[in-house]
Amino acid sequence: MEKIPSGWVSGLTGVAIFAGSLPATRIAVADFSPIFLTAARAGIAGLLGLALLLALRQPRPAIRDIPALAVTAGGVVIGFPLLTALALQHVTSAHSMVFTGLLPLSTAIFAVFRAGERPRPAFWLFSVAGAALVAGYAAAGGGQASLEGDGLMLGAIAVCGLGYAEGARLSRTLGGWQVISWALVLSLPAMLPLALLTAPASFAHVGAPAWAGLAYVSLFSMLIGFVFWYRGLASGGIAAVGQLQLFQPFMGLGLAALLLHETVSWTMLAVTLAAVLCVAGARKYANASSPAPKPRLSCAATRSPG
């Protein structure tokens, strides 16, 4: 039996953690505003990331890495959480989950432009086929169509793909958990004050499910999931491992049905399963042209990639 590469195992673990993000966000926005939720989850995760960096005495990133960390923070710390929280005020988490099937294509495109990867043409056939399935489903109004909600989800997918590719590129030299931790720390000066300014006047109306949703997106979606995800992308190839995100809608739909009792139609399941089948084909052709990471003359190059 062929041994599954560790990068793919790490990537799949990250995807499994991320699959709970949209259902947890849907629960949380029932009692929290999208802006407060975005700022609070980034602030909580940022403080934890800062504690980890200090406790393990991690050196500060080089000045040349700050712009890339800012792009990473803008995509996965601020952009994706805020846009999805806004979208989930208009659509169900089950409907929004189908859009995550577009993430592999978005990530692969940015992997070409930002990380220099060059998948073979056959890879793009499988990747585009998977993306077309979910895009066609959304265009047909599957689940719960909403022009505003769907537009916000498409914007979220675009900025998330950029944040994934940029963060994974940095992870090759800085390390996976270090990248997300520094990106979170970089966002703290904006996120902590914003959380205080947008906090509810009273938390008396906030139920236990909303607190649980906030805890999940803060600890798992914003920090722990990225430890595995960036490690997988850095070691297995951004475009290649990024195709594992086609499993995310399938996992998330199950969670939406189990936790939120949302309707998961047969059409929705069929589209998701068909998209998942594209992973096998894409994986076969994704790694061939991925470049080896370039060594850098800094102390960061000697750190563990995880």
What is the pLDDT at residue 302?
Answer: 43
Any idea where the domains of the chain sit in the sequence?
6-199+209-302
What is the pLDDT at residue 172?
Answer: 87
Q: Going by C-beta distance under 8 Å and a sequence separation of 6 or more, which residues neighbour residue 78?
A: 38, 42, 187, 191
Given a contact cutoff of 8 angstroms between Cβ atoms, the answer to whether 34 and 149 are in contact is: no
Phi/psi zone of residue 237: left (φ > 0), alpha (ψ -120 to 50 degrees), beta? left
* Triad 94, 95, 97: Cα angle to 5°: 65
Among the residues of 175-220, which ranges form H helices? Answer: 176-198, 208-216
Angstrom distance (rounded) from CA 123 to CA 286: 6
What is the pLDDT at residue 38?
Answer: 95
At 57-76, the pLDDT tens digits run 999 999 999 999 999 999 99
Instruction: Identify residue 242 by its one-letter amino acid code.
Output: G
Q: Going by C-beta distance under 8 Å and a sequence separation of 6 or more, which residues neighbour residue 291?
A: 115, 116, 117, 118
Average pLDDT, the chain: 83
Supply 43's token pair.
């602030």
Angstrom distance (rounded) from CA 159 to CA 2: 35
Q: What is the pLDDT along the chain (306 residues), one digit of tens a residue?
A: 455 677 889 999 999 999 888 889 989 999 999 999 999 999 999 999 999 999 999 999 999 999 999 999 999 999 999 999 999 888 887 778 778 878 888 888 898 888 778 877 878 888 888 777 766 776 665 555 677 888 899 999 999 999 999 999 999 888 889 999 999 999 999 999 999 999 999 999 999 999 999 999 999 999 999 999 999 988 888 888 888 887 787 787 777 778 777 777 787 778 777 777 776 666 666 655 444 444 443 444 444 444
What is the pLDDT at residue 303?
Answer: 46
What is the pLDDT at residue 80?
Answer: 94
What is the pLDDT at residue 298?
Answer: 41
